[in-house]
A and B are shown apart, each in its own frame.
Chain A
Amino acid sequence: MSSILLIEQALNGLQFGVMLFLMAAGLTLIFGVMGLINLAHGSLFMIGAFAAATVAAATGSFLLALAASLAAAAVAGVIVEVVVIRRLYDRDHLDQVLATFALILIFSEGTRWVFGSFPLFLDRPDWLSGSVMLPFGIRYSLYRLAIILVGLAVAAALFLMISRTRIGIQIRAGENDREMIGALGVNISLLYTLVFALGAALAGFAGALIGAIQSVQVGMGEPVLILAFVVIVIGGIGSIKGAFIGSILVGMTDTLGRSLLPALFGLFMDPAAATSVGASLASMSIYILMAGVLLFRPKGLFGGT
């Protein structure tokens, strides 16, 4: 494998990781601040994609579609938080898993009921189509490059928000001591709704960005959801930094595993078997990574003690 191809695959891994971060950031924030496991996070991803596809079809504008994805997912997030999630904060994880599992059923079939059983169309805008030449003669998709940049920008904004702004201080305080911030006069209920809406909006945004180069269909959130969970568990639940490092690790492992493992097995096996065994192992690679990390750091890489 040439080094140019290797660099291109690393970029692909980075892009995949950045996209995972958008999902994982919301999950980990929600867990960190409210102590809630939200399996329905994948449904918010799906809602973002469907909203974007609908608006793009109606207006033809990709930017409007992105805005719609943010708004639709945030609104859905607020509704779900107020109606259901709010009652789950002081429950154990078991109840949370089950209730949000029920939400997945409702959202998935509800979406199918509204939009039908066939995938929707959503495409990247013309001004982001085609590819660019990067240094060292690497040709790379402009849209994927844009995802990397947007994702990194969102990550930076999140870090700034958490470390510099008032709401960030409240979020950090909420992670450390829930009763205390209530005592300090912060409207906890509003803070929780805001954090949930923020997480939902990020998930919806990711859904729209990825929906443009994937299939916009019912159930599209589930594979991403499981990956996002793997990410936050590796990174340490509640840690935005952990979610970022975890995303990049998982993105790289998955992408490089898929492209390198079959070749690696090809060195000592016959090609057909190597392709098959390598592909099998690649599909398990991130779970092996996760089990490995947890063996040495049972609370993830940045999960505190």
Chain B
Amino acid sequence: MTLKSMIAAAAFAALAGGAQADVKVGMITTLSGGGAGLGLDVRDGFLLALKQSGRDDIEMIIEDDQQKPDVAVQIADRMIQAEDVDVLTGIIWSNLAMAVVPGAVAQGKIYLSPNAGPSALAGKGCHPNYFNVAWQNDNLHEAAGAYANSAGYTNSFILAPNYPAGQDALTGYKRFYEGELSGEVYTKLGQTDYAAEIAQIRASGADSVFFFLPGGMGISFLKQYADSGVDIPLIGPAFSFDQGILQAVGDAALGVVNTSQWAKDLDNPANAAFVESFEAEYGRLPSLYASQGFDTGNLMISALDKAEVSDVEGFRAALKAADFASTRGDFAFGPNNHPIQDIYVREVIKEGDIYTNKTIGVAIENHADAYAAECGM
């Protein structure tokens, strides 16, 4: 039986050629199926960070989890048991993270999350080996609630799919939003037709609509919402307005306000360099997920520069210091190893032929998550 291990980019293998790899990094991410776009972006961002660091002692093992929890667990088992990796990263989806992370950190591995941030891992289930470099799942929704207040909305209609991340989204929005609710609707996960919900929105008399519908669901909703002619302003987290899917939504997304911890036009040198080099390397604009992959890679490298990965205490302290130039400006870890960061408000615009986001303000400054107090770390 051949032990397949896909060694990242060919350039890497060449770089690592002579030197004995000192650090092994296992990346479990989604590279096939409908959700592959997110995994590809995280991977490419991460690899770009590694390439720019010029280090030749990092071996990457990248595997496709097919967006299936049991496959992810299987890969994690192999990376831990057979390949003896030092650091794990890459998982996109909360349900896969919940399947892999608790076991991995219990076996002494470091896990750096480039995307998923389920509340269970931020609160009671927090762990000194687990670092979230993206956000706690509720963060962007909370920021949307805060933005709704500042925009003067007092009567929101809110909707999300009926699954834990969807329930967290509405809870997160309500945690910060101070006005009334004109309606609260849960849709079926993977639903493709939103005519019934849009009719309810039209009849509700709301002054704003908050929705969390990741991936294809968001594309469908936005197109149908624009088609319906309902003109109540929309607010959403960045996931439905990402670089990878905006082109598929087209005009229907123009002018929609969304919340994100990162934007292409954030004014800091690290970000400017990242956007330029990503485009040069891969020939496409970076997405939110690419920026998270890039930050995760740079965080890891910053810690490797300070401490040996075998020195667990030292390496963890170096990670916790978060001493790297983040593409999103200021970045620090809270007591539960989750980010404390600004969350911005963006608006979808058209630049030439390309749909993209423009930063129009800050929704919340130095925002931490609501679960840190439950973390007994």
Chain A positions near chain B (C-beta within 8 angstroms): 1-2, 4-5, 8-9, 12-13, 15-16, 108-109, 112, 117-121, 123-124, 129-131, 139, 141, 143-144, 210, 212-220, 223-224, 255-256, 258-259, 262, 271-272, 275-276, 279-280, 282-283
B228 touches A279 (CB 8 A): no
CA distance A271 to B185 in the complex (A): 10
Q: Which B-chain residue is minimally distant from A140 (CB atoms)?
A: B228
Question: Which 6 residue pairs of A and B lie closest in terms of their CB atoms, listed nearest first?
Answer: A215-B216, A215-B219, A12-B195, A119-B248, A279-B186, A117-B36
Closest-CB distance, A278 to chain B (whole angstroms): 8
Once the chains bind, are A279 and B192 in contact (CB under 8 Å)? no
Is A275 touching B185 in the complex (CB atoms < 8 A)?
yes
Residue among A124, A130, A212, A283 making CB contact with B162, cutoff 8 Å: A283
Query: Is B74's beta carbon under 8 Å from chain A?
Result: no
Are A123 and B203 neighbours in the complex by a CB distance under 8 Å?
no
Known: A117-B36, A214-B223, A258-B188. 16 other contacts (CB 8 A): A9-B196, A108-B33, A109-B32, A112-B32, A118-B245, A119-B216, A119-B248, A120-B248, A123-B250, A123-B251, A141-B228, A214-B224, A215-B223, A219-B33, A224-B192, A259-B197
Can you list 5 A-B contacts with CB-CB less than 8 angstroms, sorted by A residue number?
A112-B33, A118-B37, A119-B37, A129-B227, A215-B215
Cross-interface CB contact of B219 among A108, A214, A280, cutoff 8 Å: A214
A220 touches B248 (CB 8 A): no
Partner of A144, one of B195, B245, B247, B250: B195
Cβ-based interface call for B249 (8 A):
yes
B154 interfacial by beta-carbon distance below 8 Å: no
Report which of B37, B184, B217, B245 forms a contact with A275, defined as CB distance below 8 A: B184
Write the nearest CB–CB distance from B356 to chain A, whole angstroms.
Answer: 14
Does B244 make an interface contact (CB < 8 A)?
A: yes
In the complex, what residue of chain A is closest to B245 when comparing beta carbons?
A119
Q: Do A119 and B223 touch across chains, with their CB atoms under 8 A apart?
A: no
Decide: A214 and B192 in contact? CB cutoff 8 A. Answer: yes
Of residues 206 through 232 on chain B, the ones whose CB sits less than 8 Å from some CB of chain A are 215-220, 223-224, 227-229
When the two chains form their complex, are residues A213 and B248 in contact, meaning their CB atoms are under 8 A apart?
no
- C-alpha spacing A220/B217, complex, angstroms: 10
Q: Are A144 and B185 in contact (CB under 8 A)?
A: no
Interface string of B181-194 (1 = CB under 8 A from A): 00011111110110
- Given A139-B229, A213-B223: A5 in contact with B200 (beta carbons within 8 A): yes
Q: Is the interface of B mostly helix, strand, loop or mixed?
A: helix
How far is the CB of B218 from the nearest CB of chain A, in Å?
8
Q: Specify which of B32, B186, B199, B247 is in contact with A118 (CB 8 Å cutoff).
A: B247
Selected from B188, B190, B252, the residue in CB contact (under 8 A) with A282 is: B188
- Whether A143 contacts B227 in the complex (CB less than 8 A), given A213-B220, A283-B162, comes out as yes
* Bound: A131/B198 CA distance, A: 13
Provided the pairs A119-B245, A258-B187, A279-B185 are in contact, do residues A215 and B196 lie with their beta carbons within 8 angstroms?
no
A6 to chain B, nearest CB (A): 9
B contacts with A, residue count (CB < 8 A): 43
User: Could you tell me the dominant secondary structure of chain A's interface residues?
Assistant: helix
* A280: chain B residues within 8 A (beta carbon): 162
Q: How far is the CA of A53 from the CA of B314 in the complex (A)?
A: 53
Chain A CB count within 10 A is highest, among B186, B197, B199, B252, for: B199
Cα(A224)–Cα(B192), bound, Å:
9
Residues of A within 8 A of B188 (CB): 258, 279, 282-283
Give chain A residues whose Cβ lies under 8 Å from the Cβ of B189: 283
User: How many angstroms between the C-alpha atoms of A280 and B185 in the bound complex?
Assistant: 11
**Chain A residue contacts of B228, Cβ below 8 A:** 131, 141
Whether the pair A118, B248 counts as a contact (CB closer than 8 A) is yes
By beta carbon, the residue of chain B nearest A259 is B196
Q: Which residue of B lies closest to A210 (CB)?
A: B192
B-side contacts of A276, CB under 8 Å = 162, 167, 186
B40's closest neighbor in chain A, by CB? A117
| Cβ B199 vs Cβ A9 within 8 A | yes
Given A143-B227, A276-B186: A215 and B199 interface contact (C-beta under 8 Å): no
CB of A16 within 8 A of CB of B195, answer yes
Chain B residues whose C-beta falls within 8 Å of the C-beta of A256 in the assembled complex: 196
Q: Is the CB of A219 within 8 A of B250?
A: no
Q: What is the CA–CA distance of A275 and B187 in the complex, to the nearest angstrom?
A: 10
Q: Closest A residue to B248 by CB, please name it.
A: A119
Q: Which residues of chain A are near B167, meaning CB under 8 Å?
A: 276
Cα–Cα distance between A220 and B220 once the two chains are bound (Å): 11
- Assess the A279–B244 pair: CB atoms within 8 A: no
Residues of A near B40 (CB, < 8 A) are 117
Docked pose: A275 CA to B183 CA in angstroms: 10
B184's partner among A2, A131, A224, A272 (CB-CB below 8 A) is A272
Min CB distance, B215 to chain A, in Å?
8
Q: Are A259 and B200 in contact (CB under 8 A)?
A: yes
The answer to whether A220 and B192 have CB atoms under 8 Å apart is yes
- Taking a contact as CB atoms under 8 Å apart, the answer to whether B199 and A8 are in contact is yes
Which residue on B lies nearest to A260, using beta carbons? B196
By a CB distance below 8 angstroms, the chain A residues around B244 are 118
Residues of B within 8 A of A8 (CB): 199
> Across the interface, which residues of A come within 8 angstroms of B186, CB to CB?
262, 275-276, 279
Q: Are A214 and B162 in contact (CB under 8 A)?
A: no
Nearest CB to that of B217 among chain A residues? A215
- B248: contacting residue among A131, A216, A279, CB under 8 A: A216
B152 at the interface (CB under 8 A from A): no
B248 touches A144 (CB 8 A): no
On chain B, the residues within 8 Å of A210 by CB distance are: 192
Say whether A117 contacts B195, CB under 8 Å.
no
Complex Cα distance A23/B357, Å?
A: 37
**Whole-angstrom distance between the Cβ of A3 and the nearest chain B Cβ:** 11
Within 8 Å CB of A130, what residues of B? 229
CA distance A215 to B246 in the complex (A): 11
